[in-house]
Structure 1
Amino acid sequence: MTYTKQTLQQDLAAMGLTGTETILIHSSMKSIGAVEGGADTVLDALMEFFAEGLLLLPTHTWQSIDQDHPVFDVRRSPCCVGILPELFRQRPGVVRSLHPTHSIAACGRGAAEYLAGELENNTPCTPGGCYDRLRAVGGKILLLGVSHARNTFLHSVEEVLNVPNRLTDKPLQLTVVDEAGAEHTVYMRRHYNAQQPHISEDFVKLEQAYLDCGAAKNTKFGDAACILCDANELFRVTRHILAPAPEAFVTEPVIPAQRWKELCTETR
């Protein structure tokens, strides 16, 4: 089957979305299947559907911005998280935050205001920053063809909860070039864990907990298996697991269901 803008928008509506949401979308273009018009059609579908809301896509550059390449240019630095974010950030009307490693691009209601303040942050997902802010606005997260291993919001939960062994001790000195071409010196710590270099790969350990507690549900977008999440509920479930055991993601091979059963009962 070849999908069109209309059929993809029907899939969004079938998820229960109205188009007025603030929604962060992590994506895999290839998971969607054949689309008439390709990636541009997917972006057209998303931008038109959420025209009355706020559409957010991650435009991370952590793969390329480092000690040897310390300059992030918000206008030119390509992102490392797929073709949809890379094309999205270049579209007219889309704005991009000034975070040197974990920027977000946005279009829609209050986009510039939502992205403001990232120059003052010194961690990837600083409390009160763009990722944590999803809770305050009742935001949604759509994992489009990807798992919770790509759910950057969970890094912000760890930062809010002050989970140990998640960040480098020493920050990097980086340069951010803004839309006007002005340069800003910033100091940024990076994600780091000595036991697990790719800590987000362990976020999938809570996939069933999120489903059981109603924080997430399985959906479809084209051929892509998706997970639609509520940011506030993700935070609540994750806090329930990590508060008594901050290192659970790393130290526990499997997080047993009894750890969240009581919380799910309370939710319902």
Structure 2
Amino acid sequence: MQPEPGDPGIEVDREDVRRAAGEVGIARGDTVMFHSSLSSMGTVVGGPDTVIDGFLEAVGSEGTVAAPTLWWHQTDPPLRMEDWDPDTSPSYPGLITEHFRRRPDSLRSNNPTHSVSAIGARAVELTRDHGATGRRPCVFGDAAFARASPWERLYQWNAAYCFIGVDFTVNTMSHYIETVLVEAALREAQGPLRRKLRARLQARHAEGVWPWYDRTGMEDCLTDRGLVRRGRIGSATLRCIRARDMVDHTLSILRAQPAHWFQANFQAWLAEAEGKADAP
């Protein structure tokens, strides 16, 4: 998506960020994850640090602030996984995320496709051992959204999940949701069928099926349920939803209406996994 156009005539300072965070329900001790567009807010006095420090003030010394510091993406020539280095590999989803991961108080998880950086009381706990245990089948590799991952912890801790000047099109947590849905479906299948179904899943270098869904359409559904709170940071819309609400409600909606949300090939895969269709 294109970020919201910012109004350079509007100035934003750290107090503006802190106040907006409070207006969408962020409190001391919270864990916050945010996607962002710096330019959408207007003229941010002090740049990325102003945004990061504003959130840190909102959660206090007992809270934690995180950002998606993803490295791997489609490039020409392609990036090589063996070149990944959590200390030096740049983050591509926006200026704030790259600045975030370079801060001396920031810790970064060790995953080439879906690393998370964090600052605060639980930063070590949030970022450690990414993919070490509890791996799950995933189009981005089995470690990306493992049980030992920042994404699982954001769900378990019911983090405040925010979007500044961007919408759910950039919602990385959607891939956690897709991965959990696939894992649960595979648990329903037994023995040879489970292996057969897993072999049909899309992987990083293999075509196959995957539960891609319309993230902006899902944002509308979650908003209609009263789960998405909105505020303003300068000229940008601030959206905020609790991670458990996002995940649990999205999974419920997807499972209730697979024909509406999924492509036909994944609908067939899911029906077979759940024993609702004859195997081909």
Same fold (TM > 0.5) = yes
| Partner AA of 2:115 in structure 1 | S
Distance in 2 of aligned mates of 1:170 and 1:135: 24
More helix, by proportion? 2
The 3-state SS of whatever aligns with 1:160 is helix
Distance in 2 of aligned mates of 1:158 and 1:205: 15
Mapped contact 1:168–1:190 kept (Cα < 8 A): no
Distance in 2 of aligned mates of 1:136 and 1:30: 32
Query: How far apart are 1:192 and its partner, in Å?
Result: 7.9
Distance in 2 of aligned mates of 1:85 and 1:217: 23
Mapped contact 2:26–2:58 kept (Cα < 8 A): no
Mapped contact 1:127–1:156 kept (Cα < 8 A): no
Q: Find the counterpart in structure 2 of residue 159 from structure 1.
A: 179
TM-score by length of 1: 0.75
Q: Find the counterpart in structure 1 of residue 228 from structure 2.
A: 216
Query: How far apart are 1:29 and its partner, in Å?
Result: 0.8
Q: 1:17 to 1:104 in 2, by over 3 A?
A: same
Unmatched 5+ residue regions in structure 2? 1-9, 136-141, 186-197, 265-280
Q: 1:129 to 1:26 in 2, by over 3 A?
A: same
Which of 3, 25, 29 does residue 12 from structure 2 map onto? 3
Distance in 1 of aligned mates of 2:206 and 2:95: 26
Unmatched 5+ residue regions in structure 1? 172-188, 253-268
| Partner AA of 1:53 in structure 2 | G
Q: Which has the larger radius of gyration?
A: 2
The 3-state SS of whatever aligns with 1:132 is helix
Q: 1:28 to 1:67 in 2, by over 3 A?
A: closer
More strand, by proportion? 1
Distance in 1 of aligned mates of 2:222 and 2:114: 24
Mapped contact 1:127–1:160 kept (Cα < 8 A): no
Mapped contact 1:54–1:111 kept (Cα < 8 A): yes
Residue 51 (structure 2) pairs with residue 42 (structure 1): yes
Mapped contact 1:144–1:227 kept (Cα < 8 A): yes
Question: Number of residue pairs matched?
Answer: 231
Mapped contact 2:174–2:215 kept (Cα < 8 A): yes
Query: How far apart are 1:16 and its partner, in Å?
Result: 2.5
Which of 157, 170, 176 does residue 137 from structure 1 map onto? 157
Paired residues for 1:9-20 under 5 Å? 9-20=18-29
The 3-state SS of whatever aligns with 1:238 is helix
Q: Find the counterpart in structure 2 of residue 22 from structure 1.
A: 31
Mapped contact 2:222–2:246 kept (Cα < 8 A): yes
Query: How far apart are 1:219 and its partner, in Å?
Result: 2.0
Distance in 2 of aligned mates of 1:168 and 1:63: 24
Mapped contact 1:135–1:232 kept (Cα < 8 A): yes
TM-score by length of 2: 0.72
Query: How far apart are 1:86 and its partner, in Å?
Result: 0.5
Identity across aligned pairs (percent)?
27
Q: Find the counterpart in structure 1 of residue 274 from structure 2.
A: none
Q: Find the counterpart in structure 2 of residue 97 from structure 1.
A: 109
Query: How far apart are 1:69 and its partner, in Å?
Result: 5.2
